[in-house]
């Protein structure tokens, strides 16, 4: 199983995903690391990316997921995946890829972004992130988690939700037998 954790910049994708991957003993990949350098510089300069800018990045993410699945590996990968069309590229119709949407208010996310340092995404681009965001629809079978709690609690909530998903017996067994999940 692959878990794609999505949401606007500053929602906690990196922190929550790293905790989730560590808890489950799965691979972890920060999707932002797959951005071409030109994309990073554009965002750092305060310019929102276009769909054309994002396409090579989304294809790299889709390829990473395909590689993990081909090797039979489970993993957690972050990607803002703000539009349905982006999610269609990276997830498509693969039933072994679960989508987790970290949802938060503009005010909460803005406060978090203002408090972090050394990230290429400036707070000034948050409005464009929310303007672009198309929240997942029920047919995408998303796990929707509000991000108003501590990252460890959020990761545990995601792990509990994954218990109820169609996954292989080994994964289901590991999730069911985690003592820290009530």
Q: Any idea which of 18-22, 43-47, 130-134 has the lowest mean pLDDT?
A: 43-47
Is the distance from CB of 78 to CB of 32 less than 8 angstroms?
yes
For the chain, the structural domain boundaries read 2-173
The percent of residues in the chain predicted with pLDDT above 70, rounded, is 85
CATH tag, 2-173: 3.40.50.300
The percent of residues in the chain predicted with pLDDT above 90, rounded, is 67
Centre a 10 Å sphere on the Cβ of residue 102 and count the other Cβ atoms it contains: 25
> For 94-138, how does the pLDDT look when each residue is reduced to its tens digit (9 = 90+)?
999 999 999 999 889 988 777 665 555 555 678 888 999 999 999
Rounded distance between C-alpha atoms, residue 128 and residue 48, angstroms:
7
Rounded distance between C-alpha atoms, residue 108 and residue 102, angstroms:
12
């Amino acid at each position: 199983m692959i878990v794609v954790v999505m949401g606007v910049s500053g929602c906690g994708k990196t922190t929550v995903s790293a905790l989730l991957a560590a808890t489950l003993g799965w691979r972890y990949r920060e999707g932002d690391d797959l951005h071409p350098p030109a994309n990073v510089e554009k965002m750092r300069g305060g310019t929102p990316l276009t769909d054309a800018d994002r396409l090579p990045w989304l294809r790299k993410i889709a390829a990473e997921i395909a590689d993990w699945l081909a090797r039979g590996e489970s993993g957690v990968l972050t990607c803002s995946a703000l539009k349905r069309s982006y999610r269609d590229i990276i997830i498509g119709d693969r039933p072994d890829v679960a989508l987790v949407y970290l949802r938060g208010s503009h005010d909460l996310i803005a406060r978090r972004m203002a408090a972090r340092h050394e990230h290429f995404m400036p707070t000034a681009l948050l409005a464009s992130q929310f303007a672009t965001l198309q929240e997942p629809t029920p047919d995408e079978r998303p796990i929707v988690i509000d991000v108003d709690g501590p990252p460890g609690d959020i990761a545990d909530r995601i792990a509990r939700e994954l218990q109820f998903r169609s996954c292989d017996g080994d994964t289901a067994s590991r999730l069911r037998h985690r003592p820290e999940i009530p």
